[in-house]
Amino acid sequence: MSELQDIQTTENSTENTEDFPKYINRERSLLEFNRRVLAQANNPEIPLLERVKYLCISSSNMDEFFEVRLASLMELAKDPNALTQPDEQPAGMVVECLLEATHEIVEEQYHTLNNILIPALEKENIRFVRRNHWTEQNREWISKFFIEQLQPVLSPVGLDPSHPFPKVLNKTLNFIVSLEGKDAFGRSNGLAIVPVPRSLPRLVKLPTEATEGENDFVFLSSILHANVSRLFPGMTVTGCYQFRVTRNTNLFIDEEEVDDLLSALRGELSGRQYGGAIRLEVADNCPQHLIDYLLDRFKLPKESLYKVNGPVNLHRLDAVPGMANRPELLFAPYTQKLLTAKKRPSKNAFKIFTRHKEPEKLFDKIKQKDILLHHPYDSFTPVIDFLKEASTDPDVLAIRMTLYRTGENSEIIKALEKAAQNGKEVTAVVELRARFDEDNNILQATRLQDAGVHVVYGVVGYKTHAKMILVLRREDDRIRYYTHMGTGNYHHITTRFYSDFGLLTANPIIGRDASKIFQQLTSLGDTKDLETVLQSPFTLKSGMIAKIEREAENARQGKSARIIAKMNGLEEQGIIDALYNASQAGVKIDLIVRGICSLRPGIPGLSENITVTSIIGRFLEHHRIYYFENNGGKPELFCSSADWMRRNLLARVETCFPILDDACFQQVYTEGLAMYLQDNTGAWILQADGSYVAKQPHGEKPYNAQALLIEKYSR
């Protein structure tokens, strides 16, 4: 039995925990996260159409897993001696293990769709009408729809020497069609491929004249199956089967060998849709000889084949909630609070914060006291207003900003353009390599340059992932720093669904540190003497480890010691080892890790004082918060753009900033940490074997942190 197989066998038991390896495989942990997302689609306590969304999210997550993570591992496995990190397992064996797990998850996705969600939707009169249930009324409308709306944009490709197998785009819907007879030129092709443009809907809602149901849908694949013979007049269609191929979408650019990163990236992006094939999805009724033909064409082994009973791209079902128009089957709508300041709370950690009138000018509000924004409960508008006000304020001299993801038609971009047009010195550090946002970031960078903004692309070899805005304003013959630092992106869409903290402050210490970091990014000078902000790749990892070790030393001396940390992912070996050592010293450690976690909790003599909780809820948990008790004298609390991942700590420019204002400290601790540790309805607890168990109230009152925060901010 291989070492990896032995690990799998061991991890199926909660006994003999001391025999578990120290680290959980990163990709295996990521698949466990996708299982938790999929579990939401099976949760009857969640509104039905929201459960459909969770199924779609799990499908999208799996797509990215194949095209990024599994693709990278397959490249690594070409070296027979390559080991994964931090668990140090042979890459080839890990790939085998993961392929087995992905088949299980995909099978569970289609079971959830066909056996749970579709029957539940039918009870709500939301139906996916199969071809064998079409009425004559359905057929007439569908036939007309195909002739008028689909046939003109479809380009079937008959396979012969002059029509070789076409290039199949990544994750597009295609059909392989078997034929008999001769075409108009007397050729006997035998096979054809029908690519379906992405512009076509994968789900069509039948209008009132075509059906008696209010929410009757047909899959595009069903429409094409029923009418495919129209594409091959004079020939007989003997079979038509959908398929989709997932490709490697990793970009390979040697940044040190290119003169212009933007131009090089543009060239690489054009080929992303045609990377090496990683996965083949086919209809489960496709004949074996056609499956073998496709596997051969895409140079894939049979382990990379996924037979599916339903549409090959479940993510496209995300159109259903909007098209069905059944708001009672969705989460109750929540309106973000438009506020920029809060009264200081009492010492009661759970006291409701109240609002009161503040100075009209945003700069005066920030100068009066720090402003903490908790998204998505607080609106992102104050951040946009901050930039808009800076763009027109005659006393503002300069604006500097990092941009990782911004979205299309961004008010942020418009404000920076306006500032440059008004004569401000505007610098934007645009990260062109933000995965899957490269095209948009290139577009925004070009747009900013055209407006007169000084655009730089960060540092060769290091993604700029920090979230910072610095405004320099002349006041009373001196320059004052106004800074925004956050845990999430400057993206107006994701701020409605991602939980993040953003700090607006006039604290000169933070402002000076931000200024030094921007100078470092633009001039490439050596600026490591920051006063209070920790920065990757220089001081963040060592700073976090030092604080963990301080807690461990306090515990050894019998002093108060506690660590609470919340993040998206944890797999950096140095951090994990420091946490293990702190646990052995007696430090109580509570980790809230949404996704990847390579630390293994609950191992006697290693990590018995560590708990790991994952929160899966209505909003995507995106905070990065690090709390150190520091013997109770002066606890320290940091927010950060960085997870405790190797890439964040060693291969990116990140910031980790202290929360210095007492009121903001109390709010971050309460709303970002304490409430989540009490959650017993959306929490999953990581077990020593690497699996997760849903936390249950067990006689306690149900406590859902996100729901309580919505209630709190709605008052």
Binding residues: 61, 405, 435, 498, 594, 622
447: which 2 tokens? 């747009």
Strand partners, 307: 282
d(CA 118, CA 99): 27
Quickly list H helices, 586-645: none
Binding residues for Mg(2+): 405, 435
CA atoms within 13 A on the CB side of 334: 23
Strand partners, 205: 217
Binding residues for ATP: 61, 498, 594, 622
| Contact status, residue 646 vs residue 577, Cβ threshold 8 Å | no
d(CA 501, CA 487): 6
- Asked about 133 being catalytic, the answer comes back as no
The candidate with the shortest Cα–Cα distance to 157, out of 183, 123, 132, 194, is 194
| Contact status, residue 447 vs residue 410, Cβ threshold 8 Å | no
| Contact status, residue 459 vs residue 379, Cβ threshold 8 Å | no
d(CA 63, CA 50): 20
* DSSP, res 335: P
Instruction: Classify burial at 144, counting beta carbons within 10 Å of its beta carbon; exposed 0-12, middle 13-18, buried 19 or more.
Output: exposed
φ, ψ dihedrals at 222, nearest 5°:
-65, -40
d(CA 275, CA 66): 12
561: which 2 tokens? 């010691």
| Contact status, residue 489 vs residue 503, Cβ threshold 8 Å | no
**What residue type is assigned to position 399 of the chain?**
I
d(CA 536, CA 442): 24
Instruction: Kindly write down the DSSP assignment for every residue of 362-429, as one continuous string.
Output: HHHHHHHS-EEEEETTB-SHHHHHHHHHHHH-TTEEEEEEEES---TT-HHHHHHHHHHHTT-EEEEE
The candidate with the shortest Cα–Cα distance to 159, out of 133, 177, 132, 186, is 177
CA atoms within 13 A on the CB side of 477: 0
Name 87's Cβ contacts closer than 8 Å, sequence gap at least 6: 21, 23, 24, 25, 26, 598
Instruction: Kindly write down the DSSP assignment for every residue of 490-557, as one continuous string.
Output: S-TTGGGTEEEEEEEE--HHHHHHHHHHHHHHHH-------SS-EEETTTHHHHHHHHHHHHHHHHHT
CA atoms within 13 A on the CB side of 444: 31
d(CA 617, CA 675): 14
d(CA 473, CA 397): 6
| Contact status, residue 254 vs residue 433, Cβ threshold 8 Å | no
Helix (H, G, I), strand (E, B) or coil at 325: coil
Among the listed residues 465, 484, 492, 623, the single catalytic one is 465
Helix (H, G, I), strand (E, B) or coil at 280: strand
d(CA 676, CA 704): 8
Q: Residues with catalytic annotation?
A: 465
